[in-house]
């Protein structure tokens, strides 16, 4: 059965005061914590075992998520005694991933309904695969005809540019590239990409939002949660 790692050590400074008493992945969106949405989304795709990489206010995960039985899954914890970054956190979890040929990794602040099976398939034979989504414009766009303004498009997706969606599939080879302390994005990905061993999987029609600010919560409740609920069916 497929395992998933959730990188859940984020402080969420820009989400204060919501993160004064809980880690960022436990902030509620539409009535439930981000990490609970993530578990339900991945459980629907065959993930039955989760590894939570935790550090800051780790005891809150035990209160809310526990061993996963309330969510119908098994949850194990990899604890950072001090911040290690996303790469160091994943490397710290290596003993819990022995024997896996491929596993999923998700940043603890991402809400989406994307299909991880595509990532898993592409990761085989490489170090891993990375989900990409179109860059969402932070501003509305004005479409013109010469000097005439013709239409206004509110925050369109800029499909000529692709960004890291914070969802990955890795083979155990990734541990050769991970730092003891540092981020996957800065320390590991550039090296893997230079060697041609990182597969890119583009998702051009999925719901996706990274939760970094209070405004992101509001936007996710409008633009992602309805699609995620539809994906989950009567679970939501």
Contact of 68 with 59, CB cutoff 8 Å: no
Closest CA to 119 of 200, 48, 2: 200
Cα 80 to chain center, whole Å?
19
Query: Which 3-state string (H, E, C) describes 164-190?
Result: EEEEEEECHHHHHCCCCCCCHHHHHHH
Known catalytic residue: 60?
Answer: no
The residue from 155, 202, 215, 222 that is catalytic is 155
User: Which 3 state secondary structure label does DSSP give 87?
Assistant: helix
Angle of CA points 33, 184, 224, to nearest 5°: 35
CA–CA separation, 143 and 61 (whole Å): 47
Contact of 205 with 103, CB cutoff 8 Å: no
Alpha-carbon torsion 200, 45, 101, 177, what sign?
positive
CA–CA separation, 209 and 229 (whole Å): 14
User: Which 3 state secondary structure label does DSSP give 7?
Assistant: strand
Active-site positions? 155
């Amino acid at each position: 059965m497929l395992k998933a790692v959730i990188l859940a050590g984020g402080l969420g400074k820009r989400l204060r005061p919501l993160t004064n008493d809980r880690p960022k992945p436990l902030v509620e969106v539409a009535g439930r914590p981000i990490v609970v949405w993530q578990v339900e989304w991945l459980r629907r795709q065959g993930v039955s075992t989760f590894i939570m990489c935790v550090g800051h206010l780790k005891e809150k995960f035990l209160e809310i998520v526990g061993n996963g039985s309330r969510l119908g899954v098994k949850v194990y914890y990899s604890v950072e005694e001090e911040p290690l970054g996303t790469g160091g956190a994943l490397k710290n979890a290596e003993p819990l991933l022995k024997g896996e040929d491929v596993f999923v990794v998700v940043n603890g602040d991402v809400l989406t309904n994307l299909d991880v099976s595509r990532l898993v398939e592409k990761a085989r034979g490489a170090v891993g695969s990375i989900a990409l989504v179109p860059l969402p414009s932070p501003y509305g766009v004005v479409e013109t005809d010469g000097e005439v303004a013709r239409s206004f498009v509110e925050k369109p997706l800029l499909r000529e540019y692709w960004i890291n969606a914070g969802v990955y599939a890795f083979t155990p080879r990734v541990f050769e590239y991970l730092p003891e302390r540092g981020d996957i994005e800065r320390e590991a990905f550039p090296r893997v990409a230079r060697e041609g061993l990182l597969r890119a999987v583009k998702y051009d029609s999925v719901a996706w939002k990274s939760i970094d600010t209070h405004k992101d919560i509001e936007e996710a409740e409008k633009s992602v949660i309805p699609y995620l609920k539809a994906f989950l069916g009567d679970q939501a």
